[in-house]
Structure 1
Amino acid sequence: MTPELRIEGISRRFGERLALDEVSFTVPAGRLTGFIGGNGAGKTTTMRIVLGVLAAHGGRVRWQGADIDALARRRFGYMPEERGLYPKMGVADQLVYLARLHGLDPARARRNVADLLERLGLAARAKEPLEKLSLGNQQRAQLAAALAHDPVALVLDEPFSGLDPGAVDDVAGVLRERAATGVPVLFSSHQLDLVERLCDQLVIIAGGQIRASGDREQLRRAHAADQHLIVVDEDAGWLRELPGVRLVSLDGPRAVVVLSDPSATQKLLRAALDRGPVHQFTPVIPTLTEIFRKVSQ
């Protein structure tokens, strides 16, 4: 059975406020799925329902084609946004303890923890109490806690918060390795450039509703605005006079245009080539930030 996590029509109220409104999306096996939205959009509430920390008021969560239960959730790895480790306990000792709570035998728990601390750059700090670590290293330790028991799925709330660029690379590398073994990985982040770089799948939530979801490149193409970038040798201001072409922006020889129909493409290229070399002509594909702003309005 494919280890796929499905969220199907979940709703949740807090008093009179509808926090989640029939939220549905899939976290496929072996893929990094980025879950993005503004503060209060519903990301953390969704994740807590997936993990059973909160109950849904409607809908369901399914794992490997069946309704999720406590036994399945026990095998998940969860990293909350708020740090939840013991500040005065040694890093390695508490990670081994947590791995054993998930059912690992002592030898395997120690081996997993040693490997993770080495991979995340914490091996030299293994015996120190958590409170002696920097905030960035505490974040690495929190991720190690989510991974120590060899989870079959990962649900991570802001795992890159407070990390410097080197630590981001370390954490991203570990998550890619887990995904490569077939583990579904869902993580939230406000760092849209990082999500765009790392993720295969994207889910955008606003106001408790899913506004867009699916494969990253398919989403970018679906939200393209039929704009093209053209780069020529000379000032491209002459494009203003060309029939079937609307000039969106102009920066000397670089211009972004919208074409009225497919035939306008050939007319544009012929007119440009009559004037000299065309160095670039390509569709303008929106960034994740642009898509997020568009669908969240």
Structure 2
Amino acid sequence: MGIKMLSLQHLTKSFGKMKAVDDVTFDVQHGKILGLIGQNGAGKTTTFRMILNFIEPDRGLITWNDQPFTQAQYDELGYLPEERGLFPKMTVENQIVYFAELRGMKRADIRREIPRWLERFEVKAKPTDKIKDLSKGNAQKVQLIATLIHQPQLVILDEPFSGLDPVNVSILREGILELKKQGAAIIYSDHNMDNVEQVSDQLVMLRSGKMVLHGTVDDVRQSFGRVKLYLESGLSAEQVRAIEGVIEVKEQRQRLELTLADETVGQKIFTLATANGYIPEFNQQPPTLEEIFKMKAGAPNA
């Protein structure tokens, strides 16, 4: 057998006349994180639900380690839905026990593991506290623990950082990266492109059910060319705007953010900017993932 992974081949699903997912194909290898992005209604949740066997595809094949999913293999899966599903009147311990038992863990093993997981994710709550008494961030951490405590080999995380402050985002992100180090295959969805860029090895973007981007984060960014330039020099915004091939100039305190027609324009700007010697900043790079997302999401023929 080759490298273990989740594989989606030509996945298609329609609801009436609407094609929610249209010929989607990608793999997620063990020890890798795939960022699945797209606007609301792009087909992400439908894709997740087909992987989870909540709904059946009209066409296509989903395999795990080259085999169709069985119930035993579903026990290797952890899923954090966008719509959180905790029971407010349950205690933290009973909530985690409930979900972990559904995945085949023994109650004694779960209870032994809970304190370690609460400490790991810095949950400010005791096992005996009720869910309804927790802050949103701590409740979200409890749900993530319930998703991960059975050490799943395939993890689907739908908006795991939604509504969290930067400190809690960092704590949860480290937990996800630790899971990756342990060899899990992870599919991760987020509307915050900075988060996606920081944790994802590969990227799939859906638009109206179709794949419009697929590749490593670096490859996707580089495919758009180094058309973003951050410049701090003696040149004014007016001087830079007058250079042929400069599409847009934004002023950011001491520096300028430029959008170029193509990356070769950068050489011309560099020559002009350094005519009198040293300049504090000349940083030419591809568009950010957020900029690419906006381009692809808004382009009808993308």
Aligned residues of 1:42 and 1:206 also touching (Cα < 8 A):
yes
Aligned length: 294
Aligned residues of 2:43 and 2:206 also touching (Cα < 8 A):
yes
Task: Give deviations 1:38-85, integer Å, cap 9, x for gaps.
Answer: 111111111111111111111111212233333212210011122223
- Any idea what SS the aligned residue of 1:61 has? strand
- Any idea what SS the aligned residue of 1:125 has? coil
Task: Give deviations 1:157-194, integer Å, cap 9, x for gaps.
Answer: 11112222222111111101101111111121122222
- Any idea what SS the aligned residue of 2:84 has? coil
Counterpart in 1 of 2:157?
Answer: 156
Aligned residues of 2:203 and 2:215 also touching (Cα < 8 A):
yes
Counterpart in 2 of 1:25?
Answer: 26
Counterpart in 1 of 2:223?
Answer: 222
Counterpart in 2 of 1:42?
Answer: 43
Aligned equivalents of 1:148, 1:253: Cα separation in 2: 47
Q: Which of the residues 245, 255, 258 maps onto 1:256? A: 258
Deviates more, 1:34-43 or 1:280-289: 280-289
Counterpart in 1 of 2:195?
Answer: 194
Aligned residues of 2:248 and 2:260 also touching (Cα < 8 A):
no
TM-score between both structures, scaled by the size of structure 1? 0.87
Aligned equivalents of 2:15, 2:261: Cα separation in 1: 48
Aligned equivalents of 1:194, 1:102: Cα separation in 2: 28
- Any idea what SS the aligned residue of 2:125 has? helix
Unaligned runs of 5+ in 2: none
Counterpart in 2 of 1:247?
Answer: 246
Aligned residues of 1:229 and 1:257 also touching (Cα < 8 A):
no
- Any idea what SS the aligned residue of 2:225 has? coil
Aligned residues of 1:236 and 1:253 also touching (Cα < 8 A):
no
One-letter code of the match for 1:81? E
TM-score between both structures, scaled by the size of structure 2? 0.86
Aligned residues of 2:245 and 2:260 also touching (Cα < 8 A):
yes
Residue 80 (str. 1) matches residue 81 (str. 2):
yes
Question: What is the CA-CA distance between 1:10 and the residue it aligns to?
Answer: 0.8
Counterpart in 2 of 1:99?
Answer: 100
- Any idea what SS the aligned residue of 1:194 has? helix
Counterpart in 1 of 2:54?
Answer: 53
Aligned equivalents of 1:240, 1:68: Cα separation in 2: 57
Aligned equivalents of 1:182, 1:108: Cα separation in 2: 22
Deviates more, 1:182-191 or 1:102-111: 102-111
Deviates more, 1:40-49 or 1:160-169: 160-169
Aligned equivalents of 1:184, 1:77: Cα separation in 2: 10
Question: What is the CA-CA distance between 1:282 and the residue it aligns to?
Answer: 3.7
Question: What is the CA-CA distance between 1:151 and the residue it aligns to?
Answer: 0.5
Residues 46, 231 of structure 1: alpha-carbon distance in 2 compared, 3 angstrom cutoff: same
Aligned equivalents of 1:4, 1:165: Cα separation in 2: 31
Residues 257, 88 of structure 1: alpha-carbon distance in 2 compared, 3 angstrom cutoff: closer
Question: What is the CA-CA distance between 1:121 and the residue it aligns to?
Answer: 2.5
- Any idea what SS the aligned residue of 2:119 has? helix
Aligned residues of 2:13 and 2:20 also touching (Cα < 8 A):
yes
Aligned residues of 1:27 and 1:33 also touching (Cα < 8 A):
yes
Question: What is the CA-CA distance between 1:2 and the residue it aligns to?
Answer: 2.9
Task: Give deviations 1:101-128, integer Å, cap 9, x for gaps.
Answer: 3222333222332222222223633112
CA RMSD for the aligned pairs? 2.6
Aligned equivalents of 2:85, 2:256: Cα separation in 1: 51
Counterpart in 1 of 2:145?
Answer: 144
Aligned equivalents of 2:15, 2:138: Cα separation in 1: 34
Counterpart in 2 of 1:283?
Answer: 284
Residues 108, 259 of structure 1: alpha-carbon distance in 2 compared, 3 angstrom cutoff: same
Counterpart in 2 of 1:110?
Answer: 111
